[in-house]
Structure 1
């Protein structure tokens, strides 16, 4: 089962035929290079992408030329799913690292919805959890200091990665530059640098070029005041309803 299929299977039990439907989306993968632009704002919606490996992000440019990152996208995610009902893209998307992507026409989502109720529910679950990530980041940005915001984002990213494939909190991949981290959190690179230095000096964590090492997980979680409810995969009884539907 691919990471994309595993991501969808977090929410519903997939039959063999449904796994086959998803597999049809991943027949023609392409290599992608670091910083590769996937689409520009205001271009007509056409292809969306399954991120099979590597990291990507969607972002918008402000009137003064700054870049604001909207989403950090990890392996197994669908790049552009939030915009597939629009006529034109309202953001742009690019690769953070090199990786592998699978393009598919956005109208294929309609075929998937028509073919399977469980896959439709999984798509809704996927989109709603992406929205939950954005909402949480907005609230954290409004009510937390820079150190807490950064720690919260590190924990969130670790938990997202751990849902894809079990990883070690003590050391995990994190190929996000200080500039990009600032664009995600709404902080300057200088401010990000100061916070990272203080976290290293206090023995909490250290950020390297492409990974993070955590030295004091308890302090990290305590300072972040992290509550993971918004990241839950629980479906509030929908899985039971789907089981009855499939009987």
Structure 2
């Protein structure tokens, strides 16, 4: 099963009809290069993208040129889903790594909503999960030290990866540059560099170019002070709602 269809199945049990419907949107996948631009702010909202393989991000830039990463997208997620009702994009979207993307016309979301109530509800669940990620990151940014922010984001990314592929906490994929990590957390490159050096010196973890090596998992989770409630896939309220129909 593709990461896209598997991501829907994390929230609700999908029928054969739902599986067939989703499979229709996976026929024209194409390769994408590292740092490839998918759209710019102001571009007309036409195709969104299903991220079948690789990592991507959406970005907002201020008039002064400061960048803020809004979303970090992993396999199975829809790039730009939060903008599908807009006339024009308010973000820039780029690939973080090489990958495989599937054009997903925004009209397809309307088709899915009309064709299947479970899939429509799952789309809302996917949007709410992305909102929860943003809300958690805002709280962490406002109330945590730089060290705690970095550790919290690393744990969050590991747990998100664990939902879509086999990962080993001892050493896992993390193709996020120090500059990009700073743009995600709102920290300067100097602050990020100093924090990562301290974490390596303290034998908590080491950031390599495209992966994280964890020396002390217990300390990692303790210092991250991580509450995974906002990452839970179970949607009992959705299942109850569907059962009542």
**What TM-score does the superposition give when structure 1 sets the normalisation length?**
0.97
Q: 2:210 — aligned with what?
A: 210
Q: 1:104 & 1:165 partners in 2: Cα distance?
A: 23
Tell whether 2:20 aligns with 1:20. Answer: yes
Q: Mapping of 1:116-135 within 5 angstroms?
A: 116-135=116-135
Deviation sequence 1:199-246 (CA, Å, 0-9, x none): 00111000001000111111111111100111111213321332454x
Match of 2:187 in 1: 187
The number of aligned residues is: 245
Question: Secondary structure of 2:70's match?
Answer: strand
Instruction: Tell me by how many angstroms 1:171 deviates.
Output: 0.8
In structure 2, the residue matched to 1:163 is: 163
Which position in structure 2 is the counterpart of 1:232? 232
Offset of 1:63 from its aligned partner? Answer: 1.4
Q: Which residue number corresponds to residue 61 of structure 1?
A: 61
Cα displacement string for residues 174-197 of structure 1 (whole angstroms, at most 9, x for unaligned residues): 000000000000011111011000
Contiguous gaps of at least 5 residues in structure 1 = none
CA distance in 2, matches of 1:164, 1:217: 21
1:70-98: CA deviations, max 9, x gaps?
Answer: 01000111000000011111111000111
Counterparts of 2:115 and 2:224, CA distance in 1: 42
**What is the DSSP-based 3-state SS (H/G/I as helix, E as strand, rest coil) of the residue aligned with 1:25?**
coil
Partner of 1:197: 197
Match of residue 7 from structure 1? 7
Aligned to 1:197, the other structure's residue is in SS state helix
Q: More deviation in 231-240 or 208-217?
A: 231-240
Q: CA deviation at 1:104?
A: 1.8
Q: Deviation of residue 62 (structure 1)?
A: 1.3
- Measured in 2, the distance between the counterparts of 1:42 and 1:164 equals 32
Give the distance between the partners of 2:89 and 2:237, measured in 1 at CA: 34
Unaligned runs of 5+ in 2: none
Alignment of 1:72-83 (within 5 A): 72-83=72-83
Distance 2:218 2:47 in 1: 43
Partner of 1:100 in structure 2? 100
- CA offset digits 1:15-66 (Å, max 9, x no partner): 1111111111110001001111101101111000000111100001111112
In the alignment, the residues of structure 2 paired with residue 28 and residue 103 of structure 1 have an alpha-carbon distance, to the nearest angstrom, of 7
Q: Distance in 2 between matches of 1:43 and 1:208?
A: 35
**Whole-Å Cα distance in 2 between the matches of residues 178 and 150 of structure 1?**
11
Q: Tell me how far 1:100 sits from its aligned partner.
A: 0.5
Structure 1 vs Structure 2 CA RMSD = 0.9
CA distance in 1 between counterparts of 2:165 and 2:82 reads 24
SS in 2 for 1:164: coil
